[in-house]
Structure 1
Amino acid sequence: MAEHEVDYEGLSPNAGLGVNMAAGALAGITEHCVMYPIDTMKTRMQVIAASPAAVYTGIGNAFTRITSTEGARALWRGVSSVVLGAGPAHAVHFGMYEAVKELTGGNREDVQNQWISTSFAGAAATISSDALMNPFDVIKQRMQMHESQHRHMIACARTVLRTEGIGAFYVSYPTTLTMTVPFTAAQFTVYEQVKAALNPSGAYSPSSHVIAGGAAGAVAAAITTPLDVAKTLLQTRGTSPDPQIRTCRGMLDAFKIIWTREGAKGFVRGLTPRVVTHMPSNALCWLSYEFFKSTIRS
């Protein structure tokens, strides 16, 4: 083997906290930036709009109308918030995941039911990373909305803070955790199981990371879409002219509003772009994570 090549099989399952955090940060930024336009469409599809002009019926409809009336740049509005938040949030996410997985024995081959370790590690990673990412996500969605007046991240943050208080940045945090804990647990569990099935030898195989990551993202995104709809309502409530939405206090209130206004179909708004976003983005995230992890390690 050439000296510059990485012996992937020779790497420790836990490559070190610093390596895992750096790899996670780079992977998170890569993932979010590549799929950001589809995330913008998803946000607009999930918002309960007061005007028919703000109602989007699908990815194709959203793309055509946004680019034709606002220009392609509108699809990227708010991406700076993601770049700034995703790095540290994903660094904490992957660092916590690997640390807890090591602590609970998930990296030892002699431990049975390793999926319990990976699920617990994934949940712990989410709780910590979402505490950092939630305010950035609120800013992102405010900037993504139809006819949003916010063009700069700092100005948006100041406006939200001045008009709604600091609570606006965390009103969706319980809902976010309710959604992302099962999302992450499902994602990591599916990823580890599919990766092990496709590549039982543990040899470096980008294709297995891509397939396992894509499958994990699709499954996790689909089963948590109803919670994501509620989260979007809470994070964008301050921009709504509807008094009931503006005073929505939490997940249960959001569920009641969605059920009353749209019934069961309201809970699957944005399902397609959410799956379309998470399937390739998770594949890219895991591929990037494994690549950066091995590269930094070398």
Structure 2
Amino acid sequence: MEQSGVLTKILAGGVAGVSETLVTYPAEFVKTRRQLHFKPSDGAATPSRPPGSLSILRDTVSRSGVRGIYSGVQALATSNAAKSGIRFLAFETTRARLDALAGTKPDPIAGHGQRQPRAAWINVVSGLSAGVAESIAVVTPGEAIKTKMIHDASSTNGRFANRGLLGAVGVLVREDGVRGLWSGLTPVLCKQGTNSAVRFTTFAMLQERVAMWWPALDGSVGSTLVLGGISGVFTVYASMPFDNIKTRMQSVDARYKGMLDCAAQTFREDGVLAFWRGTSPRLVRLTLSSGITFTVYDQVVRLMKSAQAGRDGDNLQRL
């Protein structure tokens, strides 16, 4: 990834976050609906197996149209724009400080010099810091709203029927308090910390190998897209248990005392495989989103740097 200024990191990350959300949201919708298929607190019977992804899509479209598949997208797009900006800012800022401490030279512009290998711990710690920052500031409230809106959309008498994002937030704050927006914070911290640590570390390691073995491909759009997608695969399997626990804790019918209680009830009621429920749609989404995010981020950074260089050149000519 290219080195950049604070504003550039935030704006590029924001554009990348919105882009990947709009492309991959149907997979996120299906994943969340499958994860919400668990025994309700009132003891009512549920089918023994969750519905398949295609069944969920068919039922949703027949009941609510294509628009139904995008219920809750406003919350996720808004949070992803802020989340991605904060993530890249926190990651690159932390990594630059750790590079200085470790004596590692910053990455050269892709394709224009040999990259000095970075110690893996630098990317791991930088990724963890990015995950913690985005979890507290943006992800937890955004995920809580999105999950409740998706869960609510499956009910015939939903609390958020015919309400937009702001209307849903108003209902949640009025009924659950501001604290309700941060329900599930602990599993979100675990999930996002794992996400960012695995994603950035895997991407950086793969990027170093490409620079070493195929320097002509280093920094290309195709290379960034593929490497980002591969890093997304590793991220899914590492963080899926936290994602399932987070979804259950943020559901409309949440009945858990905390993260460990939720994990224990999940294991007792649905077995160990329930922790990886929804893996297929999330695998599709994160493979695409990781590739899109890294690619869009790098391209926006390059575009903004090029525009700034052009403005600087014009200013010099006027002097």
TM-score range, shorter chain: 0.7 to 0.9
Work out whether residues 199 and 205 of structure 1, in 8 Å CA contact, stay in contact via their aligned partners in 2.
no
- Residue 119 of structure 2 aligns with which residue? 114
1:22-171 to structure 2, matched below 5 A, reads 22-47=11-36, 48=38, 50=40, 52=46, 56-105=50-99, 107-108=105-106, 113-133=118-138, 134-145=140-151, 146-147=154-155, 148-150=158-160, 151-171=163-183
Structure 1 residues 55 and 76: alpha-carbon distance in aligned structure 2, compared to 1, 3 A threshold: farther
By how many angstroms is 1:199 displaced? Answer: 3.4
Given candidates 203, 210, 214, the residue that maps to 2:229 is 214
Larger displacement relative to structure 2 (225-234 or 130-139)? 130-139
The number of equivalent residue pairs is 280
Give the Cα–Cα distance (whole angstroms) in 2 for the partners of residues 107 and 203 of structure 1: 18
- CA deviations on 1:229-263 (whole Å, 9 max, x unpaired) are 10001111xx22xxxx42x1221011011111101
Once structures 1 and 2 are overlaid, which stretch shifts more, 270-279 or 42-51?
42-51
Is the 2:136–2:189 contact (alpha carbons within 8 Å) kept by the matching residues of 1?
A: no
Q: Relative to structure 1, is the Cα distance of residues 285 and 112 closer, same or farther in structure 2, using a 3 angstrom cutoff?
A: closer
Is residue 16 of structure 1 aligned with residue 16 of structure 2? no
CA deviations over 1:176-208 (Å, ceiling 9, x no partner):
111111221010011111122223337431111
AA aligned to 1:198 is V
CA distance in 1, matches of 2:72, 2:270: 28
**Secondary structure class of the residue paired with 2:197:** helix
1:274 to 278, 282, 299: 282
Q: Distance in 2 between matches of 1:49 and 1:154?
A: 30
Q: TM-score, with normalisation over the residues of structure 1?
A: 0.87
Contact 1:195 1:212 in 2 (8 A): yes
CA distance in 2, matches of 1:18, 1:115: 27
Say which of 221, 244, 247 aligns to 1:229: 244
* Distance apart, 1:79 and its partner CA: 1.1
Pair 74,54 (structure 1): closer, same or farther in 2 beyond 3 Å = farther
> Following the alignment from structure 2 to structure 1, what is the Cα–Cα distance between the partners of residues 78 and 218?
34
Distance (whole Å) between structure 2 residues aligned to residue 275 and residue 74 of structure 1 = 21
- Counterpart contact for 1:45–1:55, Cα < 8 Å: no
Q: Does 1:179 align with 2:220?
A: no
Mapped partners of 1:160, 1:54: distance in 2:
31
Say which is worse superposed, 288-297 or 126-135, in terms of deviation.
126-135
Q: Conserved in 1, the CA contact under 8 Å of 2:128 and 2:196?
A: yes
AA matched with 2:74: S
Separation in 2, partners of 1:208, 1:14: 18
Deviates more, 1:251-260 or 1:63-72: 63-72
Letter in 2 for 1:267: F
Q: What RMSD, in angstroms, separates the aligned Cα atoms of the two structures?
A: 2.1
Counterpart CA distance in 1 for 2:202 and 2:280 is: 20
Segments of 5+ residues of structure 1 without an aligned counterpart are: 1-11
- Report SS of the residue matched to 1:61: helix
- Assess if the C-alpha contact under 8 Å between 2:35 and 2:277 holds in 1: yes
SS in 1 for 2:257: coil
Partner amino acid, structure 2, of 1:108? P
Q: In the TM superposition, what is the alpha-carbon distance from 1:280 to its structure 2 partner?
A: 0.7
How far residue 157 of structure 1 moved from its aligned partner, in angstroms, is 1.3
Contact 1:27 1:286 in 2 (8 A): yes
Q: Hey, what's the Cα distance between the residues in 2 that align with 1:130 and 1:103?
A: 21
Percent pairwise identity: 21
Alpha carbons of 1:70 and 1:149: their partners in 2 closer, same or farther (altered >3 Å)? farther
Cα shift readout 1:86-116 (whole Å, capped 9, x = no counterpart):
2222111111111111111165368664321
Q: Where does structure 2 lack aligned partners over 5 or more consecutive residues?
A: 108-114, 307-319
Following the alignment from structure 1 to structure 2, what is the Cα–Cα distance between the partners of residues 108 and 189?
Answer: 16
Q: 1:54 to 1:153 in 2, by over 3 A?
A: farther
Residues of 2 paired with 1:192 and 1:178: CA distance? Answer: 21
Contact 1:44/1:55 (8 A) holds in 2: no
Aligned to 2:293: 285
- Partner residue in 2 for 1:254: 262
Give how far 1:49 is off: 5.0
Aligned AA (2:244)? V
